[in-house]
Amino acid sequence: AGKTVNLPKDVASGNTYKKSLEGKYKKYGMQVVNKEDGHPVRAGGKSIRFEVRPGDCGYNDTWNDCDTDRERHELTGKRKTGGEWWYAWSIFLPKDFINVHPTKVALGQFHQEKGHVVWMFQNQSFSTAGGYWVDDQVPGYTRKLNQILSQDEMIEKWNDILVNVKWSKKDDGFFKVWLNGKQVYSFAGPTKTKAKVYFKFGIYRSYLSKWIYSSKNKKKEKGVPAQVVYFDEVRTAAKSCKKLKLENLGYSCEELESKQISKIEKGETSTNKYMAVIKSKNNENYLLKINGATKKLAKKKGLKQCKEEGNTECYVHYSGLKPDYEM
């Protein structure tokens, strides 16, 4: 595993981090920056600035972003955990942040050791550009996306995220999310499929070619536009909210825990077991993979999105149960 990155207590606590995919990791990719130099900070005098430019694809011994239509600069938490945990982070998008939907951008994720990602915080849904979306991927594919912020609410503003999760393969698991002191999401059911889970944060972009070959790429650029995101007050604690010491951000754990929402997403709500692959006769580079609860729904959603992205003569290249490699 890679070298530990020394993050000052001003920006992070309760965990140690290393660079995700160290091969080709750029110096500007992740920097601790200062308020006095004009950078936004949530508290104290420092924050963490991530940047991904076109071509910033890293690799390690087992994975290569460059071969898989991806780019990233992320930090990976070393604490690999089971049981009940609390996580907090604050996120800020600068004024010139460009949304690159239909390319996927994840700004925070919970990944399993020797397994698939189980929860992501996405900057888009399948059909909507921008915002912050809780992406439930426990079964190995996106089961449901819940929007907690719009894009406007993220630009030039700090938003405080708090997650309380019980990592469990059984029905006693839960995943709860607070936004700026108000609970906005509650899930009950299995939250993982493997033994250990770890937190990653930064900028992670996948399916770059979707933006490059879309109508959004008006100047026919060869790469996806650069993006900058700031994180601050990234905190991790076992079992207790109080250990996060949220008072300096203006929160009381007692108050947060007393105001729980009643709407709970159940683990087995919608199952997007079907997939449609959509192509366009007038754009040979266009390829859209879209999931749905039924074959018919997947096809309908896919054809609609294909047209919305400015293509004509859209058609269904394949539809059926999702192949295993997609899951």
Could you report the per-residue pLDDT of 128-159, keeping only the tens digit for each? 999 999 999 999 999 899 999 999 999 999 99
Mean pLDDT of all residues belonging to the chain: 91
Residue 9, C-beta contacts closer than 8 angstroms, at least 6 positions apart: none
The residue assigned the tokens 């999760």 is 165
The residue assigned the tokens 């965990």 is 15
As a whole number of angstroms, the distance between CA 13 and CA 86 comes to: 12
The separation between the first and the last C-alpha atoms of the chain, rounded to the nearest angstrom, is 26
- Asked if residues 159 and 90 have their Cβ atoms less than 8 Å apart, the reply is yes
- Asked if residues 113 and 194 have their Cβ atoms less than 8 Å apart, the reply is yes
Q: What percent of the chain has pLDDT over 90?
A: 75
As a whole number of angstroms, the distance between CA 308 and CA 277 comes to: 16
User: Per-residue pLDDT tens for 215-239?
Assistant: 999 999 999 999 999 999 999 999 9
Q: What is the mean pLDDT of residues 13-30?
A: 93
The residue assigned the tokens 């930090």 is 75
Rg of the chain's alpha carbons, rounded to an integer? 20
Q: pTM for the full model?
A: 0.82
Backbone angles phi, psi at 326, to 5 degrees: -75, -20
For the chain, strand residue ranges (E) read 4-5, 12-13, 17-19, 30-34, 46-52, 70-77, 83-92, 104-112, 117-124, 129-136, 144-149, 158-167, 174-179, 182-188, 197-206, 227-238, 265-266, 274-280, 283-292, 314-321
Strand partners, 174: 166, 188
pLDDT at residue number 146? 94
User: Per-residue pLDDT tens for 176-206?
Assistant: 999 999 999 999 999 999 999 999 999 999 9
**pLDDT greater than 80 at residue 10:** yes
User: Per-residue pLDDT tens for 244-299?
Assistant: 999 999 999 999 998 777 777 765 434 567 888 999 998 888 888 888 878 898 89
As a whole number of angstroms, the distance between CA 91 and CA 125 comes to: 18
